[in-house]
């Protein structure tokens, strides 16, 4: 599969159209549940499901996920996506 989530430790592995591969480690997630759910969405943004087809694109999206999870953890959110409210997101 071109993009997949791997466990123990949590990481995202991608194979791009040029035949190159990339693995992003998620070592210190503040909220592992939310991080995993967002990484699942990221899988579908990468080739062949979406337009993401480079290590740089993968890193940019992962950076945004890290920022988002940290910002929500700072506000006390420790669950998954289902526990997010409109007020929390705003």
60 is in which domain, residue-wise?
Answer: 3-89
Q: Which residue has the higher pLDDT, 73 or 27?
A: 73
Q: Are 47 and 41 in contact (CB under 8 A)?
A: no
For residue range 1-10, list pLDDT tens digits in order.
Answer: 588 999 888 8
Following DSSP, what letter does each residue of 2-69 receive, concatenated? -EEEETTTTEEEEE-TTS-EEEEE--S-SSHHHHHHHHHHHHTTBTTTSSB-SHHHHHHHHHHHHHHH
pLDDT, tens digit, 9 for 90 and up, residues 33-48:
999 999 999 999 988 8
Total number of domains in the chain: 1
């Amino acid at each position: 599969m071109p993009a997949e989530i791997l466990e123990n430790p949590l990481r995202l592995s991608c194979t791009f159209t040029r035949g190159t591969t990339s693995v992003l480690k998620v070592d210190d997630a503040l909220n592992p549940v939310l991080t995993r759910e967002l990484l699942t969405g990221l899988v579908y943004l990468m080739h062949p499901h979406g337009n993401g087809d480079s290590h740089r694109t993968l890193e940019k999206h992962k950076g945004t996920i890290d920022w988002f999870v940290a910002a929500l953890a700072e506000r006390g959110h420790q669950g998954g996506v289902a526990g997010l409210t409109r007020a929390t997101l705003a």
